[in-house]
């Protein structure tokens, strides 16, 4: 009998395991996939030029202390997000819809459009610097309705929709204003989420890829304590102990169980006794976004020759936003294109070669190049669709149904019997990010220890 069985070997599960061991407890980590890391997944390039991150990529040294501690502990090399050069905004069809601008999140629209976008952005930023939960009124309307009610002009609404697509993989009409504002509140505000410099979430990347953090933590936990290729089918809380049963017939017995999957996946597991009705209602209604990456690797960073920094946004899709994700030291030159929300849903239905074709066509259009351009000669392309991953079913983090964030705050993420819940969606800081996943892992073990009271072991 283990002290704690942890379901899932993503960052929240692995951090739970490590924190539990540090508290003197024994653990078994039971993971469905044949690899570690969940939504962290760095894969090597066939060319031998380093890796690309199909999932999480960016970190911040001053704002994400847990991730940064591991960065230093494992001696990882970082590269600063490259901002030098012009960014491009595609806000409409034709030449008139294309704007080049220096790095920042505010493209040069007309004066009136710019004023309107700044007004709504500043309103959301001010809301996101408040504390506590947003109001029930904000939870009762979609984000799109919320900005319409603020009198937003069409371009402003499109920009808010783009934020929704790139932050959560859904349209602004598919999440409540409260969910969006709460997410911003937990993550240092809208501007920090959108920023690619030292003030925000897209500041640094790793030469070794983010999987190096996962591998490092797993090494500390001990690979013998982690059971891969073991999808959990059933969790039975007997009161005195918990049985965790996998689809391949193995049973793990523990005194407590920490569940680290996104809540959207809870319904895939037979939990007995069933979770309380209100917990089931909120968890059964969360959804994950269509959150995809097309990573296009080149022999050379040709876009820099033309004065571009590789950052572009598009209201026309299918790519909503792209960034230069090169690691020059390894001669890994890539553009990472996010194909999210409705565009991502449509794109994921295409065959792989068609997905790649439409992305290259869009790059050619954004950078105004002809058929002779290097745009058409990538050395490798990845088209990662997270909705197709059976043990993720989308990304970035589960989104509560309209009205549910405030209605179910008393049960959401709260322990039930011997079951405890972790995962980036429950993070109080950097929700949706690796840092947030680590935070919940640490917190769950404190929660378990506090419930034990003066007894120091289970």
Ligand X SMILES: Cc1cc2nc3c(=O)[nH]c(=O)nc-3n(C[C@H](O)[C@H](O)[C@H](O)COP(=O)(O)OP(=O)(O)OC[C@H]3O[C@@H](n4cnc5c(N)ncnc54)[C@H](O)[C@@H]3O)c2cc1C
Structure tokens at 245: 């049963």
Interface stretch with ligand X, choices 117-125, 129-137, 308-316, 426-434 (CB under 6 A): 426-434
Strands 270-272 and 232-237: parallel
Span 85-114, contacts to ligand X by CB under 6 A: none
> Which residue has 């790793």 as its token pair?
206
Provide the mask over 109-138, with x wherever binding to ligand X is found by CB under 6 A and - wherever it is not.
Answer: ------------------------------
**Distance from C-alpha of 434 to C-alpha of 334, rounded to nearest angstrom:** 22
The nearer residue to ligand X, 55 or 216, going by C-beta atoms, is 55
In a 3-state reduction of DSSP, which class is residue 213?
helix
In a 3-state reduction of DSSP, which class is residue 406?
helix
Which of 135, 405, 179 minimizes the C-alpha distance to 282?
A: 405
**Distance from C-alpha of 263 to C-alpha of 344, rounded to nearest angstrom:** 22
382 is in an annotated binding site: no
Span 363-402, contacts to ligand X by CB under 6 A: 386, 391-392, 395-396
The nearer residue to ligand X, 363 or 437, going by C-beta atoms, is 437
In a 3-state reduction of DSSP, which class is residue 299?
coil
The b/e string for 201-235 (b: 16+ C-beta within 10 A; e otherwise) is bbbbbbbbbbbbbbbbbbeebeeebbbeebbbeeb
Pick one of 3, 10, 279, 439: the residue that binds ligand X (CB under 6 A). 10
Q: Does 76 bind ligand X (CB under 6 A)?
A: no
Q: How far is the CB of 437 from ligand X (least distance, A)?
A: 4
Asked if residue 301 lies in contact with residue 333, where contact means CB atoms within 8 angstroms, the answer is: yes
Pick one of 4, 5, 6, 9: the residue that binds ligand X (CB under 6 A). 9
Q: Does 155 bind ligand X (CB under 6 A)?
A: no
The nearer residue to ligand X, 156 or 348, going by C-beta atoms, is 348
352 is in an annotated binding site: no
> How many residues bind ligand X, per CB under 6 A?
40
232 is in an annotated binding site: yes
Span 255-294, contacts to ligand X by CB under 6 A: 260-262, 265, 268-269, 291, 293
Q: Does 242 bind ligand X (CB under 6 A)?
A: no
Q: Does 209 bind ligand X (CB under 6 A)?
A: no
In a 3-state reduction of DSSP, which class is residue 165?
helix
Q: Does 8 bind ligand X (CB under 6 A)?
A: yes
Pick one of 4, 20, 25, 32: the residue that binds ligand X (CB under 6 A). 32
How far, in Å, are 234, 239, 289, 415, 423 from residue 267 at the CA level? 10, 21, 17, 17, 16
**Distance from C-alpha of 375 to C-alpha of 164, rounded to nearest angstrom:** 28
The nearer residue to ligand X, 56 or 120, going by C-beta atoms, is 56
Structure tokens at 129: 């610097």
44 contact partners, CB below 8 Å, separation of at least 6: 50, 51
Q: How far is the CB of 212 from ligand X (least distance, A)?
A: 13
67-76: long-range contacts, CB 8 A cutoff, minimum separation 24:
67/213, 67/434, 67/435, 67/438, 70/213, 70/216, 70/217, 70/438, 71/206, 71/213, 73/216, 74/212, 74/213, 74/216, 76/206, 76/207, 76/208, 76/212, 76/213
**Distance from C-alpha of 404 to C-alpha of 396, rounded to nearest angstrom:** 18
**Distance from C-alpha of 358 to C-alpha of 378, rounded to nearest angstrom:** 14
Q: How far is the CB of 118 from ligand X (least distance, A)?
A: 26
31 is in an annotated binding site: yes
Pick one of 4, 5, 6, 7: the residue that binds ligand X (CB under 6 A). 7
177 contact partners, CB below 8 Å, separation of at least 6: 134, 138, 139, 141, 142, 143, 145, 146
**Distance from C-alpha of 65 to C-alpha of 435, rounded to nearest angstrom:** 8
Q: How far is the CB of 2 from ligand X (least distance, A)?
A: 15
The nearer residue to ligand X, 265 or 399, going by C-beta atoms, is 265
Q: Does 58 bind ligand X (CB under 6 A)?
A: yes
Distance of CA 338 to the CA centre of its chain: 12
Pick one of 6, 21, 25, 31: the residue that binds ligand X (CB under 6 A). 31
The b/e string for 78-88 (b: 16+ C-beta within 10 A; e otherwise) is ebebbbebbbb
The nearer residue to ligand X, 232 or 359, going by C-beta atoms, is 232
Span 287-326, contacts to ligand X by CB under 6 A: 291, 293
The nearer residue to ligand X, 121 or 168, going by C-beta atoms, is 168
338 is in an annotated binding site: yes
Pick one of 55, 301, 310, 413: the residue that binds ligand X (CB under 6 A). 55
The nearer residue to ligand X, 42 or 156, going by C-beta atoms, is 42
Q: How far is the CB of 145 from ligand X (least distance, A)?
A: 27
Q: Does 424 bind ligand X (CB under 6 A)?
A: yes
32 is in an annotated binding site: yes
Q: Which residues are annotated as a binding site for FAD?
A: 12, 31-32, 232, 425
Q: Which residues are annotated as a binding site for substrate?
A: 338
**Contact positions toward ligand X, by CB under 6 A?**
7-13, 30-33, 38-40, 55-58, 231-232, 260-262, 265, 268-269, 291, 293, 386, 391-392, 395-396, 423-424, 432-435, 437
């Amino acid at each position: 009998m283990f002290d704690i069985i942890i379901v899932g070997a993503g960052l929240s599960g692995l951090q739970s395991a490590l924190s539990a061991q540090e508290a003197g407890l024994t653990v078994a980590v039971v993971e469905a996939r044949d690899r570690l890391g969940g939504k962290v997944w760095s894969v090597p390039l066939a060319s031998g030029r380093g890796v690309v991150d199909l999932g999480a990529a960016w970190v911040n040294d001053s704002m994400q202390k847990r991730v940064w501690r591991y960065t230093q502990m494992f001696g990882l090399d970082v590269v600063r997000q490259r901002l030098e050069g012009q960014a491009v905004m595609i806000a409409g069809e034709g030449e008139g819809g294309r704007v080049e601008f220096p790095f920042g999140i505010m493209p040069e629209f007309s004066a009136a459009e710019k004023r309107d976008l700044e007004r709504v952005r500043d309103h959301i930023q001010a809301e996101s610097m408040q504390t506590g939960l947003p109001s029930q009124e904000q939870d009762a309307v979609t984000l799109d309705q919320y900005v319409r009610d603020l009198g937003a002009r069409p371009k402003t609404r499109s920009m808010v929709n783009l934020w929704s697509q790139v932050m959560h993989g859904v349209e602004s009409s598919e999440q409540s204003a409260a969910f969006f504002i709460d997410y911003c509140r937990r993550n240092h505000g809208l501007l920090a989420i959108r920023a690619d410099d030292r003030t925000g979430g897209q500041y640094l990347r790793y030469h070794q890829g983010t999987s190096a953090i996962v591998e490092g933590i797993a090494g500390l936990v001990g690979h013998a304590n982690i059971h891969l290729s073991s999808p959990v089918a059933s969790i039975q809380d007997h009161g005195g102990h918990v049985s965790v049963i996998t689809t391949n017939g193995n049973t793990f017995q523990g005194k407590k169980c920490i569940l680290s999957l996104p809540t959207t996946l809870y319904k895939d597991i037979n939990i007995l006794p069933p979770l309380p009705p209100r917990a089931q209602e909120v968890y059964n209604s969360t959804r994950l976004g269509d959150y995809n990456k097309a990573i296009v690797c080149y022999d050379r960073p040709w876009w820099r020759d033309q004065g571009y920094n590789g950052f572009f946004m598009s209201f026309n899709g299918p790519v909503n936003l792209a960034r230069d994700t090169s690691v020059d030291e390894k001669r890994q030159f890539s553009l990472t294109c996010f194909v999210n929300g409705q565009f991502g849903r449509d794109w994921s239905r295409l065959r792989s070669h068609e997905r790649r074709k439409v992305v290259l066509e869009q790059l050619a259009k954004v950078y105004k190049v002809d058929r002779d351009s290097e745009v058409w000669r990538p050395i490798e392309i990845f088209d990662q669709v997270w909705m197709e991953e059976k043990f993720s079913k989308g990304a970035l983090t589960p989104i509560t149904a309209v009205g549910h964030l405030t209605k179910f705050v008393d049960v959401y993420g709260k322990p039930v019997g011997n079951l405890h819940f972790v995962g980036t969606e429950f993070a109080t800081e950097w929700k949706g990010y690796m840092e947030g996943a680590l935070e919940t892992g640490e917190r769950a073990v404190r929660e378990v220890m506090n419930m034990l009271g003066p007894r120091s072991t289970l």
